[in-house]
Chains A and B, each alone.
Chain A
Amino acid sequence: MNIKKYINFSISLKNLLIGTIALFLFMFPVIRLILLSISTESQTWTFAQYKILITDIRAEAAIWNTVYISFAASFISAAGGIITAFFVAYTNLRHKNIIELLVFLPFVIPAYVITLSWTELTASNGFLSMVLEKIGISPINLYSAGGIIVVLGICHISVVYAAVVHMLRKVPLETRWTAQVSGCPVWKSLIKIDLPMVMPAVAGGTALAFLADIDNFAVPAFLGISSNIPVLSTYIYEKVISFGPDSFAYGAVLSVILSGIALSGAGLASMMSHKEKIMENAQEDYAIRISFSSKKRQLIEGGIFFVLALFSIIPFIYMAGNAMVTGSILSATPFNLTWDNYYFVFTNNGLREAVCNSFFMAGTAMVLCLGMGTLIAYFLVRDHSRAAVFLSQCASITYSVPGIVLALALIFYWSQPVPGINTGLYGSYSILILGYVTRYMIIQIKNSAAAFATISEVSEQAALISGSSYIRMWVAVIVPQLVAPALSGAFFIFLSAFTELTMSSVMSSASTKTIGLAIFNLQQGGDYNLAAAVSIILIIIIAIVLGIQKIFEEWYTKRGI
């Protein structure tokens, strides 16, 4: 068949195309940034710029802060994650799905919204502070290293939880019974048997939390900039927006250092996950292992829900309240509650534009990732194309590299991708969309590849031998089976891009401001109530998008997909 010949010939062309995209879209920006850090005006391949490590006190402080804050925060995440995972996996507590929902809330809600809600709650002129003063404790000040550590720690509990809860369920029940038969008390067997067995998952999850902490921009930006606690992500941000003569070079050096820290963390994480392979094939056992008496159970449930509510719900309620007043919430009475702030969001051009910009750019990025990612995934799974593997690896790098580093690399690269061509992309929608696509492509590739792996090859062969053309096969057989998993990846990409702050903080211009950046600016400017209002609207939008996703999912499962 002629078409078959054409396809056979152009497959090598396809590989060439994929390889080129991998290099020009994903690899070169990162390489250019590294090269930038090791070159000066006069010579390349010099580490001269790295002297800032010795000369710049702020850089030293930023490096040290990044490491110890993230370290401490990841321990908090680990503690919270292990405890919650234990209660959910092993005990007979009720409403576990609500507990899981509350644990994952900080994963779905952007970190800056959580930070904002917490700062509102603990504000020095706020309700909580008054209460604390009455009992003799000074008000909690989140604008400190401690504050950053705690907020980061809580934001990433879900990361450790997700890793540990599955591993806990895989610990064979027999180990508990053997311990009991030998007369070992429950708490002792937990510490001596279960904990060591899940240690790889704990370590792996904690390493992932560490990575998320050093990558995080929102929390140290909200809490650390005004209190002069620099971390590498915010310091790079400061350098980039200052537009000094050597800003980019300086930023490049800091980026390489930050990436170095990230790489060691990632290396640690993958080392830990290798040890996990022992129990990889074990089945998860959902049986209840520890039963509390109903009185004890009620007590523990109450305690857990109180703590989770304190972390997740109360701050939001407080923030919602603040959004309804134009002064301090303490001055709120039923009579001066006002919708003014919300009204402002809807009518103010700048804010309205921010919401529309975010929708437009996140939507475009989602569609681009869906199309290209699914195509790459097809070549990955069906053709075992080495070019597709290479592209996936490059896309993994751009996902795991700290967000601010990627932003800087892209800004620098796309202003002059090929020597001589100045694209003038900076400040446009395109650069941000490019940024989102570069960062999140791997998510779509992974999701779509997993989907293709479940659609067996014979499924396609059956279509072909029934007389179908390739196009018909795709439309009638493959795509309907792909829709569910591919869309779940797409929704995740949309929400991530929509709420994203790190990259838009340096890549946005006045006309391409995003909703995250808008909230950031309002908070930095002291306009907390308005920031609160925008945050509440953002949360509502997130809830609607998740709701739509849920409706789609119900529709698929009914159809048997």
Chain B
Amino acid sequence: MIAMSLVIDRISMNYGHTKVLDNVSAIIQKGEFLSILGHSGCGKTTLLKILAGFIKPAEGQILLHDVLYSNNRKIVSPGKRDMGMVFQSFALWPHMTIRQHIEFPLQCRSSRWRSKKEQEKAVENALEITGLTELQQRYPHQLSGGQRQRVSLARAIAARPSLLLMDEPLSALDIDLRVSMRKEIRRIHQLIGTTVIFVTHDQGEALSLSDRIMVLHKGCVEQIGTPEEIYLHPQTPFTAAFIGRCNFIKGEWQGTSFHSADGKLFYQGDIADIFHQQQICPLRPEQLHIIRSGSGLAGIIKEKQYIGREIHYVVSCKENMFNVYAPTEENYAIGEELYLNCQ
């Protein structure tokens, strides 16, 4: 139902003469997990701040449940929005205990909570979901990084908001902690079913957590789609190159058939129009196969990286460098001459 969703309608934003966001639109369904993915400076944090109500957009509007939250004339203040937010730097308050952090949003929105008992139940619930029940009387300086992030999360969900905004919440954590926190976030999302907007520059996070991904580049939406769509059917060269590795083969398109410039490589498939127009074919490293003899692009192995479950090669074909992943069993040496095809 459209009524229960978040509508981002043609949002544009400038800082001075620089256009930071350009005509960004999306409709997010209730309970959906949407990641906003892009480089630093692509405008994703600005978009989040507009969603939160800290900045007014130059153009466009934001609606939640059919209620106007922002346009270029007025905004509903952050406190009045039905949202929670998790910050990259946790934004914890050093003078409050964990429990007091979680009680805070409930006390602020106390009009919604009828009795003290209901408030307490909500607090206990949030503590339980994030696994902090035993630490509730501690202060932030007594906690580890991962625990602090959970507090930030617990505070954001305590009042059961319709929308949860997360601004690169895992960037400040160690790598192994990031992976385990991914699972936590996924579990909590499935448990409480709130709509989530998750900003990140890490494609791994975006691919593994999201129902859909919005790829932002220089303030413009490159593509919005499910992780499969983004990965297997990129709609723009940027998206193709940004997610995973991508090789661009030059050649000619005829309908859905492609052959490389020297006629040695053939591909058949459904690729976005813009690649047809630019006469290139995007192929992932795992879609290219190495053969010692036969028909294919001629090349020489320049680099070789042993990953464990596979080997990553960089193959030089005339002026181009292509990334190819091959199983460990096929062991090629640097300098070896061979052929690439995509059968």
A residues at B contact (CB < 8 Å): 1, 3-4, 456, 458-459, 461-469, 472, 476-477, 480-481, 559-561
Is there contact, CB below 8 Å, between A480 and B95?
A: yes
The smallest beta-carbon distance between A554 and chain B, in angstroms, is 15
Q: Which residues of A contact B94 (CB under 8 A)?
A: 481, 560-561
> Can you list 30 A-B contacts (CB < 8 A)?
A1-B76, A3-B77, A4-B75, A456-B89, A458-B87, A458-B89, A459-B91, A459-B92, A461-B85, A461-B87, A462-B85, A462-B87, A462-B93, A463-B104, A464-B79, A465-B53, A465-B78, A465-B84, A466-B79, A466-B108, A468-B79, A468-B108, A477-B93, A480-B95, A481-B95, A559-B139, A560-B94, A560-B95, A560-B139, A560-B141
Looking across the interface, which residue of chain A has its beta carbon closest to that of B165? Answer: A465
Since A4-B75, A464-B79 are in contact, a sample of 6 more A-B pairs with Cβ atoms closer than 8 Å, ordered by chain A residue number, is: A459-B91, A467-B159, A559-B95, A559-B139, A560-B141, A561-B95
Task: Compute how far the CA of A3 lies from the CA of B78 in the bound complex, rounded to whole angstroms.
Answer: 13
The smallest beta-carbon distance between B163 and chain A, in angstroms, is 11
Q: Which residues of B contact A476 (CB under 8 A)?
A: 104
Q: Which residues of B contact A559 (CB under 8 A)?
A: 95, 139
B residues at A contact (CB < 8 Å): 52-54, 74-81, 83-85, 87, 89, 91-95, 104-105, 108-109, 139-142, 152, 155, 159, 165
Looking across the interface, which residue of chain A has its beta carbon closest to that of B155? Answer: A466
Is there contact, CB below 8 Å, between B79 and A467?
A: yes
Task: Compute how far the CA of A57 lies from the CA of B85 in the bound complex, rounded to whole angstroms.
Answer: 73
Looking across the interface, which residue of chain A has its beta carbon closest to that of B86? Answer: A462
Is there contact, CB below 8 Å, between B85 and A468?
A: no
Looking across the interface, which residue of chain B has its beta carbon closest to that of A463? Answer: B104
Is there contact, CB below 8 Å, between A466 and B105?
A: yes
Given A467-B159, A559-B139: A461 and B52 interface contact (C-beta under 8 Å): yes
Task: Compute how far the CA of A406 lies from the CA of B248 in the bound complex, rounded to whole angstroms.
Answer: 74
Given A456-B91, A462-B91: A560 and B140 interface contact (C-beta under 8 Å): yes
Looking across the interface, which residue of chain A has its beta carbon closest to that of B82? Answer: A467
Looking across the interface, which residue of chain B has its beta carbon closest to that of A3? Answer: B77
Given A4-B77, A560-B139: A466 and B91 interface contact (C-beta under 8 Å): no
Q: Which residues of A contact B76 (CB under 8 A)?
A: 1
Q: Which residues of A contact B159 (CB under 8 A)?
A: 466-467
Task: Compute how far the CA of A503 lies from the CA of B251 in the bound complex, rounded to whole angstroms.
Answer: 86
Looking across the interface, which residue of chain A has its beta carbon closest to that of B167? Answer: A458
Q: Which residues of A contact B89 (CB under 8 A)?
A: 456, 458
Task: Compute how far the CA of A129 lies from the CA of B81 in the bound complex, rounded to whole angstroms.
Answer: 80
The smallest beta-carbon distance between B16 and chain A, in angstroms, is 15
Task: Compute how far the CA of A456 lies from the CA of B172 in the bound complex, rounded to whole angstroms.
Answer: 15
Given A560-B95, A560-B139: A465 and B104 interface contact (C-beta under 8 Å): no
Task: Compute how far the CA of A467 lies from the CA of B76 in the bound complex, rounded to whole angstroms.
Answer: 12
Question: Considering residues A456, A465, A468, A476, which has the most beta carbons from chain B within 10 angstroms of its beta carbon?
Answer: A465
Contact partner of A1 (CB less than 8 A), chosen from B52, B75, B91, B93, is B75
Looking across the interface, which residue of chain A has its beta carbon closest to that of B94? Answer: A560
Task: Compute how far the CA of A1 lies from the CA of B80 in the bound complex, rounded to whole angstroms.
Answer: 10
The smallest beta-carbon distance between A158 and chain B, in angstroms, is 31
Task: Compute how far the CA of A3 lies from the CA of B76 in the bound complex, rounded to whole angstroms.
Answer: 11
Task: Compute how far the CA of A469 lies from the CA of B104 in the bound complex, rounded to whole angstroms.
Answer: 12
Is there contact, CB below 8 Å, between A465 and B79?
A: yes
The smallest beta-carbon distance between A486 and chain B, in angstroms, is 14
Is there contact, CB below 8 Å, between A464 and B78?
A: yes
Where chain A touches its partner, the secondary structure class is: helix
Q: Which residues of B contact A456 (CB under 8 A)?
A: 89, 91
Is there contact, CB below 8 Å, between B87 and A468?
A: no
The smallest beta-carbon distance between B225 and chain A, in angstroms, is 29
Task: Compute how far the CA of A468 lies from the CA of B109 in the bound complex, rounded to whole angstroms.
Answer: 8
Is there contact, CB below 8 Å, between A461 and B91?
A: yes
Task: Compute how far the CA of A459 lies from the CA of B159 in the bound complex, rounded to whole angstroms.
Answer: 18
Task: Compute how far the CA of A477 lies from the CA of B101 in the bound complex, rounded to whole angstroms.
Answer: 10
Question: Considering residues A467, A472, A480, A561, which has the most beta carbons from chain B within 10 angstroms of its beta carbon?
Answer: A467
Is there contact, CB below 8 Å, between B91 and A468?
A: no
Looking across the interface, which residue of chain A has its beta carbon closest to that of B85? Answer: A465
The smallest beta-carbon distance between A538 and chain B, in angstroms, is 35
The smallest beta-carbon distance between A473 and chain B, in angstroms, is 9
Given A461-B54, A476-B104: A469 and B79 interface contact (C-beta under 8 Å): yes
The smallest beta-carbon distance between B327 and chain A, in angstroms, is 46
The smallest beta-carbon distance between B15 and chain A, in angstroms, is 15
Task: Compute how far the CA of A561 lies from the CA of B104 in the bound complex, rounded to whole angstroms.
Answer: 18
Task: Compute how far the CA of A464 lies from the CA of B140 in the bound complex, rounded to whole angstroms.
Answer: 19
Is there contact, CB below 8 Å, between A467 and B95?
A: no
Looking across the interface, which residue of chain B has its beta carbon closest to that of A556? Answer: B95
Given A4-B75, A458-B87, A560-B140: A468 and B104 interface contact (C-beta under 8 Å): yes
Task: Compute how far the CA of A211 lies from the CA of B298 in the bound complex, rounded to whole angstroms.
Answer: 79
Task: Compute how far the CA of A131 lies from the CA of B85 in the bound complex, rounded to whole angstroms.
Answer: 76
Looking across the interface, which residue of chain B has its beta carbon closest to that of A462? Answer: B91
Task: Compute how far the CA of A67 lies from the CA of B107 in the bound complex, rounded to whole angstroms.
Answer: 63
Q: Which residues of A contact B95 (CB under 8 A)?
A: 480-481, 559-561
Task: Compute how far the CA of A467 lies from the CA of B160 in the bound complex, rounded to whole angstroms.
Answer: 12
Contact partner of B109 (CB less than 8 A), chosen from A461, A463, A467, is A467
Contact partner of A465 (CB less than 8 A), chosen from B74, B75, B83, B141, is B83
The smallest beta-carbon distance between B221 and chain A, in angstroms, is 25
The smallest beta-carbon distance between B52 and chain A, in angstroms, is 6
Task: Compute how far the CA of A467 lies from the CA of B156 in the bound complex, rounded to whole angstroms.
Answer: 11
Is there contact, CB below 8 Å, between B77 and A462?
A: no
The smallest beta-carbon distance between A482 and chain B, in angstroms, is 10
Task: Compute how far the CA of A560 lies from the CA of B148 in the bound complex, rounded to whole angstroms.
Answer: 14
Is there contact, CB below 8 Å, between B155 and A462?
A: yes
Looking across the interface, which residue of chain B has its beta carbon closest to that of A483? Answer: B95
Q: Which residues of B contact A4 (CB under 8 A)?
A: 75, 77
Question: Considering residues A4, A459, A462, A472, which has the most beta carbons from chain B within 10 angstroms of its beta carbon?
Answer: A462
The smallest beta-carbon distance between A369 and chain B, in angstroms, is 23
Is there contact, CB below 8 Å, between A459 and B78?
A: no
Is there contact, CB below 8 Å, between B108 and A467?
A: yes
Task: Compute how far the CA of A1 lies from the CA of B81 in the bound complex, rounded to whole angstroms.
Answer: 12
Among all A-B residue pairs, the 3 with the closest Cβ atoms: A467-B108, A466-B105, A462-B91
Task: Compute how far the CA of A558 lies from the CA of B314 in the bound complex, rounded to whole angstroms.
Answer: 57
Q: Which residues of A contact B78 (CB under 8 A)?
A: 461, 464-465
Q: Which residues of A contact B81 (CB under 8 A)?
A: 465
Q: Which residues of A contact B75 (CB under 8 A)?
A: 1, 4
Task: Compute how far the CA of A472 lies from the CA of B91 in the bound complex, rounded to whole angstroms.
Answer: 17
Looking across the interface, which residue of chain B has its beta carbon closest to that of A461? Answer: B54
Q: Which residues of A contact B79 (CB under 8 A)?
A: 464-469
Looking across the interface, which residue of chain B has its beta carbon closest to that of A478? Answer: B93
The smallest beta-carbon distance between B144 and chain A, in angstroms, is 15
The smallest beta-carbon distance between B45 and chain A, in angstroms, is 11
Question: Considering residues A3, A472, A476, A480, which has the most beta carbons from chain B within 10 angstroms of its beta carbon?
Answer: A476
Task: Compute how far the CA of A261 lies from the CA of B80 in the bound complex, rounded to whole angstroms.
Answer: 58
Given A1-B75, A461-B78, A560-B141: A466 and B104 interface contact (C-beta under 8 Å): yes
The smallest beta-carbon distance between B331 and chain A, in angstroms, is 47
Task: Compute how far the CA of A4 lies from the CA of B52 in the bound complex, rounded to whole angstroms.
Answer: 15
The smallest beta-carbon distance between B71 and chain A, in angstroms, is 13
Task: Compute how far the CA of A477 lies from the CA of B165 in the bound complex, rounded to whole angstroms.
Answer: 21
The smallest beta-carbon distance between A540 and chain B, in angstroms, is 33
Task: Compute how far the CA of A11 lies from the CA of B265 in the bound complex, rounded to whole angstroms.
Answer: 66
Task: Compute how far the CA of A461 lies from the CA of B54 in the bound complex, rounded to whole angstroms.
Answer: 8
Task: Compute how far the CA of A311 lies from the CA of B217 in the bound complex, rounded to whole angstroms.
Answer: 69
Q: Which residues of A contact B52 (CB under 8 A)?
A: 461, 465
Task: Compute how far the CA of A466 lies from the CA of B105 in the bound complex, rounded to whole angstroms.
Answer: 5
Given A4-B75, A467-B159: A481 and B87 interface contact (C-beta under 8 Å): no
The smallest beta-carbon distance between B101 and chain A, in angstroms, is 9
Task: Compute how far the CA of A323 lies from the CA of B208 in the bound complex, rounded to whole angstroms.
Answer: 80
The smallest beta-carbon distance between A556 and chain B, in angstroms, is 8
Looking across the interface, which residue of chain A has its beta carbon closest to that of B109? Answer: A467
Q: Which residues of B contact A458 (CB under 8 A)?
A: 87, 89, 91
Task: Compute how far the CA of A462 lies from the CA of B109 in the bound complex, rounded to whole angstroms.
Answer: 14
The smallest beta-carbon distance between A552 and chain B, in angstroms, is 14
Contact partner of A464 (CB less than 8 A), chosen from B77, B139, B141, B152, is B77
